[in-house]
Amino acid sequence: MNYISIQNIDSLEKWVKEALKIKKKPLKNKTLGKNKTLGMLFFNSSLRTRLSTQKAALNLGMNIMVMNFTNEGWTLEFEDGAVMDSGASEHIKEAAAVVSQYCDIIAIRAFAGLIDREKDNAETVLSGFLKYATVPIINMESATGHPLQSLADAITMAEHTTAHRPKVVLTWAPHPKALPQAVANSFVEMMQLQEADFVITHPEGYELNREITKNSKIEYDQNKAFENADFIYAKNWSNYTDYGLITNSDPNWTVTTDKMKLTNNAKFMHCLPVRRNVIVMDEVLDSENSIVIEQATNRTYAVQLVLQKILESPPTPQGGTKTEKSKKIKK
């Protein structure tokens, strides 16, 4: 079993319930991970994911090996048949197979480059590990998705459940740096598994990948979108059509107290890190209705659930069954 995208969740409702159980007794399965090793490979910076994933693994009694690939390792090659006579020192074929010899689960963070849309959509790093690793893989945010974040978001929303069918709004907000669509993508996919009045709001031209948003409602008028909302989830992403560019930085999209007044006393959510007074005003983020720290708390239980499911599932080697890798890897 892998946890690569929201699509790997068979029943979101069930998963959320299980995660909330773990949250009540996080050390209940303290021996489940005994003598099992989680390898955490970072191709990008990380705070919440880095710490919450370690915390979850520790709660399960696992060993942890953290590796920052960029400064502790070297550049990898992902192209099949490449003549490796320049930058990259090692091919993903070897790297993934080798790490699989030392780890029982591999967790990977590798952001979008935001230069080449096709390449980002191909999920070069994550797919490479999926293909050539022989142990389960966890996505700690890839080019196009951040399913651990969205699972934590689902848990957090469940803790603030409304009596009625909730209205949930994903709102774009301005940001000085070009950011990936990963968090927004996974949030959309997660919401598509929920009973809710779900609305995405963003400036025209900032549409996410339509293969992901599918029939999800899009409303270009942010104020209208906010009306009667129960949850406002703010997030910036760079332009998906003019790929990776910042084509809008309109401060009118910043989440303000006035805008929150349009809602049904909505909870404010963000995956963090958040740019204060750019994405959202201090007054909103510091208000009682902000649940961003709870989202961060739930990152631990989201990933602990995933680790637990993997540890409890029968081993299903990846690459070993692929024709590209017909030879058996002895382990």
137 forms part of the interface with a copy of itself (CB under 8 A): no
User: Apex CA 290: angle with CA 280 and CA 47, to 5°?
Assistant: 75
278 forms part of the interface with a copy of itself (CB under 8 A): yes
120 forms part of the interface with a copy of itself (CB under 8 A): no
Q: Which stretch binds a copy of itself (CB under 8 A): 5-13, 97-105, 259-267, 306-314?
A: 97-105
How far apart are alpha carbons 52 and 157 in whole angstroms?
Answer: 19
Nearest to 313 by CA among 105, 106, 131, 154: 105
247 forms part of the interface with a copy of itself (CB under 8 A): no
User: Apex CA 208: angle with CA 166 and CA 248, to 5°?
Assistant: 105
Among 12, 22, 95, 208, binds a copy of itself (CB under 8 A): 95
For helices 147-159 and 292-312, the axis angle rounded to 10 degrees is: 120
Question: For 322, phi and psi rounded to 5 degrees?
Answer: -75, 145
24 forms part of the interface with a copy of itself (CB under 8 A): no
How far apart are alpha carbons 213 and 168 in whole angstroms?
Answer: 14
Element (H, E) at 275: none
Q: How many CA atoms lie within 13 A of 106 on its CB side?
A: 30
Q: Residue 166 or residue 320: which is nearer to a copy of itself going by CB?
A: 320
Tell me how far, at minimum, the Cβ of 153 lies from a copy of itself, in Å.
15
Residues 280-309 close enough to bind a copy of itself by CB under 8 A: 282, 285-288, 290, 292-294, 296-297, 299-300
User: Does 91 show up as a binding residue in the annotation?
Assistant: no
User: Does 245 show up as a binding residue in the annotation?
Assistant: no
Nearest to 54 by CA among 10, 107, 11: 107
Among 20, 73, 216, 246, binds a copy of itself (CB under 8 A): 73
Residues 151-190 close enough to bind a copy of itself by CB under 8 A: 176
Number of residues engaging a copy of itself in binding (CB under 8 A) = 71
Q: Which residue matches tokens 């070897």? A: 94
User: Does 47 show up as a binding residue in the annotation?
Assistant: yes
51 forms part of the interface with a copy of itself (CB under 8 A): yes
User: Does 271 show up as a binding residue in the annotation?
Assistant: yes
Distance set, CA 304 to CA 24, 30, 53, 61 (Å) = 12, 11, 7, 11
Q: Residue 46 or residue 238: which is nearer to a copy of itself going by CB?
A: 46
Among 43, 48, 124, 305, binds a copy of itself (CB under 8 A): 48
Binding-site residues for N(2)-succinyl-L-ornithine: 141, 175, 235, 275
Binding-site residues for carbamoyl phosphate: 46-49, 74, 109, 146-149, 271-272, 299
